[in-house]
Amino acid sequence: MRVLLSTYGSRGDVEPLAGLGTALQALGAEAVVSAPGDQEFVDLLDRAGVELAPAFMPVRDWIDSAKRAPADIPTYGMRMIGAQYEAIGAAAAGCDAIVASGLMPSAAAAQCVAEKMGVPYFHVSFCPLFLPSHHHKPHPYPGHPFPPGVTDLRALWDLNIQHMHALFGGTVNTQRASIGLPTV
């Protein structure tokens, strides 16, 4: 079995997948990690003995390009999802499953690749703050504050869904439509 572990983000996104890749290999599976090609991640995955399939660009280059050409969150998402779809698609050749984490447009690209390939897709989150819970409120997104006085956690999580759709729904559905997948 060959498993693609995909992420785009910081060391906190990459290092857990290096550990998961090592554990999968110890169980007899073949693991490859699609992650930013920054030297620290190249070195980290090399030390872990896990193959790196570089993401569309190193994360530090992505940050530098964002500083040079500031934009809103949906624009950043649109810039990332198509490029990540290509990079993840190349890395996923021969894979039997895809596990994704990291920034939302990258995880959405991984899900698109899995659907196109007809392989199982699993999403993992290393920060429970982003998972709906009756124990904590969601994290507000820039430009999408929660209404003052709203404290009901279910209502706040419903607003979070609306905000996520406002920020990323068009980006995700544009990508999905461009590759022949139904919108979500």
Each of the 184 residues of the chain gets a pLDDT tens digit; together they read: 999 999 999 999 999 999 999 999 999 999 999 999 999 999 999 999 999 999 999 999 999 988 898 888 888 899 999 999 999 999 999 999 999 999 999 999 999 999 999 999 999 998 877 789 999 999 888 888 999 999 999 999 999 999 999 999 999 999 999 999 999 9
pTM for the model stands at: 0.92
Beta bridge partners of 33: 5, 52
Cα–Cα dist 100/102, whole Å: 7
Among 4, 2, 6, residue whose Cα is nearest residue 108: 6
> Residue 18 corresponds to which tokens in the numbers above?
């290096």
* The token pair that represents 161 in the structure block: 């869904």
Distances (CA, A) of 135 to 37, 86, 132: 36, 38, 9
Q: Which helix (H) or strand (E) holds 13?
A: helix 11-26
Q: Which of 137, 135, 143 is nearest to 166 (CA)?
A: 143
